[in-house]
């Protein structure tokens, strides 16, 4: 296990493996890298991923205008502290030779004097006859520096969605020409050189340490001066915080295991005495068997160099639950067999007979349990998410090992327990013989309470009025569950991957509340085309025009380098001077064109590439080359966001428009992979569930060879799964790659609950459907209830976790165990009593039926065997 290779990158774990957006990302990076672009100046909207960065969000504690002079001065001081950090000049991304900090221009007096004041006057005068003249006209701030440099700031990004230019009558005598609740500073860092990565990472760690020292945690008002709420993050924050989050919660595992052992001891000791009690040995052996299964799985995967991820730390709780289920089933069968008389006289023969019959009675049930759970995770490996695949591999192997250790290790301790009972030895001090009077003292004798409880259940299972009430209850349950399941949300919030009190969680929350972060979309021409041909220019124009018509794409935003050329031709093929000189007036466009030099090789008799055009070639006077624009890009922007699969619709429409444009073009945005994740979650869940349903059908048919019985198992399984999804929505969970794992896991549990009851219904002797349904309830009801309650108690500590991974697992397991009890011990027995199989082997003589008909009415005789 010490060799385990952990994957912590969110990109690799939680996005579809076959992602078109990730393929496009790699292509964009290969086309527009530093060696190919005409300028090395950094512009945020041009990066192909989220880059490497550090950000700080400032907002006032009282919600006042943060553009007031006193607030800006304090922000400027903190900004100065960051600029004074060591090695910033070596790790920062630059523009015009200077470190680029988006938002830094807003702290200068020039922004207020040259932009806000003049914009306020212009807005006040124009608003009189143009009521629609609002803040959208003031989105960008272009700062022309004294040295000829140009600063380009997106105000909607750096000042947030509440930014506006004030009217003169609301400007506090001209002192507050604008209003905003947010000031965001983004320190852009290098991300194009492997040699610089260690320095960048070290600088990010220093930045996070500085911000932590300047704040008092993610509180409402957390800076040392009491003026701001400051939130911050860096590019590696999500990966590191997600890892730390799970690591912090591992301490709860010990407490969880201890609780499970205590409650297992309690439940297994009900109605026993100092001899027949399993004490602490059998519960510990059953849980140890599950723990050995987990250790063996993790060790085997590590030995085979199969990677792990943070999600596998949920597996111990899962496998312990399955192990407890198996343990209670085996022990319940043992109690039932041991209570019967035997013809054997030798203790060894008695021991052999009891253990053989115990395993023959419970073997089918625990085999179904393990096989269905393993199959469910085997199906999960086919999903398109790496995190789900990793989890399913580790969990599936753990279940197989757990099954092996339950049959061998736990059964060995059960043999020891049986031998001790036959020798009348003390359960807690086995080297001592028990006194006869100690055999009369029973632990937690709940016989009277059990009889009242069984009468209530007998009413629901055996009487028509009870069945009618059960049917009405089922209608309410299934309709409520279906309604909520239909409305469940899709997608994952990044803050859910970290602790609630993490600085990154506060940063994501502030971004969502204060920023309308509508993503930029690139239209990338990935092959050379002749831009001097009017036909191609028209195709490009129509492409952009049709893209603007798509619902969800802004019709007022666009960056198009072709608009810089007023003439019909650029005339760049023989000389790049005209192209470069024109684009110099708008520097960002220099990074949107990849210009390639070619020449005709007379020896080879073909055109040969001479590399990419460099700015130094502009004044060389060489005109022997031909030039072609190998790649270029244009920009659009989303105009609305839903943070769900609905955001994928504009993406698909853009791809369709590009395919139909007649140009070698594709759309790309750094957020497309998120939209694909939103969109792929539900189909993957449905696909996994359908395949699992088919697999469970075949497995159930092998062990329970009756179509009606299998139908009852599948119906109960569908009922539990519908309820699970519905109550997940009711409890605030959404469909994501994390909850997908929990749903796949739940398929196995659903079959476990249903198969145990149905198998008991078929094999529990003679009688009519009512009698056998009630007998099945008596036979497996206690172990199912004990297993479910022990699991709920065991995972109760996870409710105090700060990790979304553990919290969602806690909620899912609580829902699953509760619905498992309701469906398998109430709905399913009632269904079996109505339409369950009734074979010739179940027929009994009329006289015998009259003698035993009262069993279903009082449950006392059967209760003695529980």
List pLDDT tens digits, range 639-696: 888 877 788 899 999 999 999 999 999 999 999 998 888 888 888 888 888 888 888 7
Q: How far apart are CA 536 and CA 712, in angstroms?
A: 64
Give the pLDDT band (50/70/90) at residue 342.
Answer: low
Decide if pLDDT at 405 tops 90: yes
Q: What does DSSP assign to residue 4?
A: -
For residue 206, which of 198, 216, 196, 194 has the smallest C-alpha distance? Answer: 198
Reported confidence tier of residue 444, pLDDT bands at 50, 70, 90: low
Calpha distance 395→375 (Å, rounded): 11
Question: How much is the average pLDDT of 801-817?
Answer: 85
Tokens of 598: 């070619």
Q: How confident is the model at residue 219 (pLDDT cuts 50, 70, 90)?
A: low
Q: Is the pLDDT of residue 551 over 70?
A: yes
Domain ranges of the chain: 51-234, 244-445, 450-487+704-866, 519-675
SS (H, E, C) 48-97: CCCCEEEEEEEEECCCCCCCCHHHHHHHHHHHHHHHCCCCHHHHECEECC
What are 710's two structure tokens?
A: 């299998």
pLDDT in tens, 55-64: 999 988 877 8
pLDDT at 1: 58
Residue linked to tokens 């209003």: 179
**CA 475 to CA 500: how far, in whole Å?**
38
Residue 55 has φ and ψ, to the nearest 5°, of: -130, 150
pLDDT band at 852 (very low <50, low <70, confident <90, very high): very low
- Across 89-93, 288-292, 434-438, 510-514, least confident range: 434-438
For residue 539, give every residue at least 6 positions away whose Cβ sits within 8 Å of its Cβ, in sequence order, or none. 661, 662, 663
Phi, psi of 190 (to 5 degrees): -65, 145
Predicted pLDDT of residue 527: 92
Q: Which residue has the tokens 């569950």?
A: 481
Tokens 């512009």 locate to: 43
Closest by Cα among 64, 76, 299, 30 to 179: 64
Beta bridge partners of 559: 635
Decide: 155 and 184 in contact? Cβ < 8 Å: no
Are 244-445 and 450-487+704-866 equal in CATH topology?
yes
Please report the sign of the dihedral spanned by the C-alpha atoms of residue 25, residue 31, residue 34, residue 37: negative
CA 582 to CA 589: how far, in whole Å? Answer: 10
C-alpha 269/C-alpha 285 separation (Å) is: 15
Specify the pLDDT at position 131: 55
Q: Does residue 725 surpass a pLDDT of 80?
A: yes
How much is the pLDDT for 856?
47
Residue 788 has pLDDT above 80, yes or no: yes
Predicted pLDDT at 268: 77
- 856-865 confidence digits (pLDDT tens): 444 444 444 4
> What pLDDT score does 149 carry?
64
- Which whole-number Å values give the CA distances from 579 to 121, 488, 501, in the listed order? 38, 52, 52
Residue for token pair 């610089």: 196
β-strand pairing of 520-525 with 665-668: antiparallel
As to burial, measured by CB atoms within 10 angstroms (0-12 exposed, 13-18 middle, 19+ buried), residue 444 is exposed
Q: Is the pLDDT assigned to residue 487 strictly greater than 70?
A: yes
> What is the H or E stretch that residue 202 is in?
helix 194-214
Question: What is the average per-residue pLDDT within 343-371?
Answer: 82
450-487+704-866: CATH architecture: Up-down Bundle (1.20)
pLDDT, one tens digit per residue, over 553-607 is 988 888 888 888 776 677 777 777 777 877 777 777 888 888 887 765 555 556 5
Q: How far apart are CA 227 and CA 247, in angstroms?
A: 34
The pLDDT of residue 858: 47
Share of the chain above pLDDT 70, in %: 85
Q: pLDDT grade, residue 478 (50/70/90)?
A: very high
Assign 359 to helix, strand or coil. Answer: helix
Q: How many CA atoms lie within 13 A of 309 on its CB side?
A: 25
| Contact status, residue 524 vs residue 31, Cβ threshold 8 Å | yes
Token pair recorded at residue 36: 């190919």
Mean pLDDT on 257-278 = 76
- Tell me the helices (H) and strands (E) count for the chain, helix number first: 30, 15
- The CATH number that domain 244-445 falls under is 1.20.1640
Query: Quick check: 740 and 497 in contact, CB under 8 A?
Result: no
Residue 88: HSE in the Cβ half-sphere, 13 Å Cα cutoff: 18
pLDDT at residue 770 is higher than 80: yes
Residue 86 vs residue 203, higher pLDDT: 203
């Amino acid at each position: 296990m010490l060799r385990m290779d952990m994957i912590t990158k969110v990109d690799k774990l939680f996005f579809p493996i076959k992602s078109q957006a990730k393929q496009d990302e790699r292509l964009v990076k290969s086309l527009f890298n530093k060696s190919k672009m005409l300028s090395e100046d950094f512009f945020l909207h041009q990066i192909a991923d989220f880059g490497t960065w550090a950000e700080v969000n400032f907002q006032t504690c009282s919600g006042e205008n943060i553009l007031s002079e006193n607030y800006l001065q304090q922000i400027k001081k903190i900004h100065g502290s960051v600029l004074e950090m060591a090695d910033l000049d070596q790790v920062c991304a630059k523009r015009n030779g200077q470190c680029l900090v988006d938002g830094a221009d807003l702290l200068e007096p020039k922004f207020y004097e040259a932009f806000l004041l003049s914009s306020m006057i212009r807005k006040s005068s124009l608003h009189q006859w143009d009521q629609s003249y609002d803040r959208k006209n003031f989105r960008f701030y272009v700062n022309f520096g004294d040295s000829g440099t140009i600063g380009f700031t997106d105000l909607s990004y750096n000042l947030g969605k509440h930014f506006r230019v004030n009217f003169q009558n609301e400007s506090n005598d001209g002192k507050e020409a604008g209003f905003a609740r947010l000031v965001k500073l983004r320190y852009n860092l290098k991300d194009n050189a492997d040699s610089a990565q260690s320095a960048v990472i070290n600088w990010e760690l220093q930045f996070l340490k500085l911000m932590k020292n300047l704040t008092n945690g993610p509180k409402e008002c957390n800076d040392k001066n009491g003026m701001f709420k400051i939130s911050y993050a860096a590019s590696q924050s999500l990966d590191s915080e997600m890892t730390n989050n799970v690591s912090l919660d591992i301490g709860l595992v010990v407490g969880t295991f201890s609780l499970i052992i205590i409650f297992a001891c309690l439940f297994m000791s009900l109605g026993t005495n100092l001899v027949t009690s399993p004490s602490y040995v059998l519960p510990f052996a059953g849980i140890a068997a599950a723990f050995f299964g987990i250790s063996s799985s993790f060790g085997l995967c590590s030995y085979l160099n199969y990677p792990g991820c943070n999600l596998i730390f949920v597996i111990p709780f899962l496998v312990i639950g399955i192990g407890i289920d198996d343990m209670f089933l085996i022990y319940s069968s043992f109690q039932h067999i041991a209570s019967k008389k035997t013809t054997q006289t030798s203790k060894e023969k008695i021991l052999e007979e009891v253990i053989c019959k115990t395993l023959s009675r419970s073997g089918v049930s625990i085999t179904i349990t393990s096989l269905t759970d393993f199959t469910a995770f085997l199906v999960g490996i086919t999903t398109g998410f790496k995190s789900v695949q990793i989890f399913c591999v580790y969990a599936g192997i753990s279940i197989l090992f757990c099954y092996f250790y339950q049959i061998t290790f736990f059964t060995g301790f059960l043999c020891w327990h049986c031998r001790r009972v036959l020798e009348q030895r003390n359960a807690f001090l086995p080297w001592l013989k028990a006194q006869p009077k100690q055999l009369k003292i029973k632990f937690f004798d709940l016989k009277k309470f059990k009889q009242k409880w069984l009468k209530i259940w007998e009413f629901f299972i055996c009487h028509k009025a009870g069945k009618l009430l059960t049917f009405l209850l089922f209608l309410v349950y299934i309709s409520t569950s279906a309604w909520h399941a239909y409305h469940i949300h899709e997608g994952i919030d990044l803050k859910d991957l970290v602790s609630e009190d993490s600085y990154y969680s506060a940063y994501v929350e502030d971004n969502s509340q204060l920023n309308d972060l509508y993503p930029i979309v690139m239209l990338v021409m990935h092959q050379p085309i002749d831009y001097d041909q009017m036909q191609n220019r028209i195709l490009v124009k129509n492409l952009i025009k049709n893209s603007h018509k798509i619902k969800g794409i802004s019709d007022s935003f666009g960056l198009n380098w072709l608009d810089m050329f007023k003439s019909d031709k650029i005339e760049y093929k023989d000389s790049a001077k005209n192209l470069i000189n024109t684009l110099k007036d708008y520097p960002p466009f220099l990074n949107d064109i990849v210009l390639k030099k070619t020449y005709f090789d007379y020896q080879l008799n073909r055109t040969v590439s001479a590399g990419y055009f460099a700015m130094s070639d502009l004044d060389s006077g060489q005109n022997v080359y031909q030039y072609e624009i190998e790649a270029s890009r244009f920009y659009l922007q989303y105009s609305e966001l839903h943070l769900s699969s609905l955001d994928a619709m504009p993406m698909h429409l853009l791809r369709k428009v590009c395919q139909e444009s007649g140009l070698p073009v594709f759309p790309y945005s750094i957020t497309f992979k998120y939209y694909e994740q939103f969109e792929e979650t539900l189909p993957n869940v449905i696909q996994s569930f359908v395949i699992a349903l088919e697999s469970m059908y075949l497995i159930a048919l092998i062990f329970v060879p009756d179509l009606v019985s299998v139908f009852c198992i599948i119906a109960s399984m569908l009922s539990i799964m519908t309820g699970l999804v519905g109550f997940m929505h009711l409890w605030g969970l959404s469909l994501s790659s994390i909850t997908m794992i929990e749903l796949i896991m739940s398929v196995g549990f659903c079959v476990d609950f249903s198969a145990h009851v149905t198998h008991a219904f078929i094999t529990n002797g003679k009688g009519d459907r009512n009698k056998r349904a009630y007998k099945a309830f008596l036979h497996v009801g206690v172990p199912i209830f004990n297993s479910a309650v022990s699991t709920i108690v065991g995972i109760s500590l996870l409710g105090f976790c700060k990790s979304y991974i553990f919290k969602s697992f806690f909620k899912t397991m609580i829902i699953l165990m509760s619905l498992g009890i309701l469906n398998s011990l109430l709905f399913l027995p009632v269904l079996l009593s109505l339409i369950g199989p009734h074979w010739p082997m179940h027929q009994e003589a009329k006289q015998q039926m009259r003698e035993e008909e009262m069993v279903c009415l009082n449950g006392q005789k059967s209760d003695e065997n529980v």
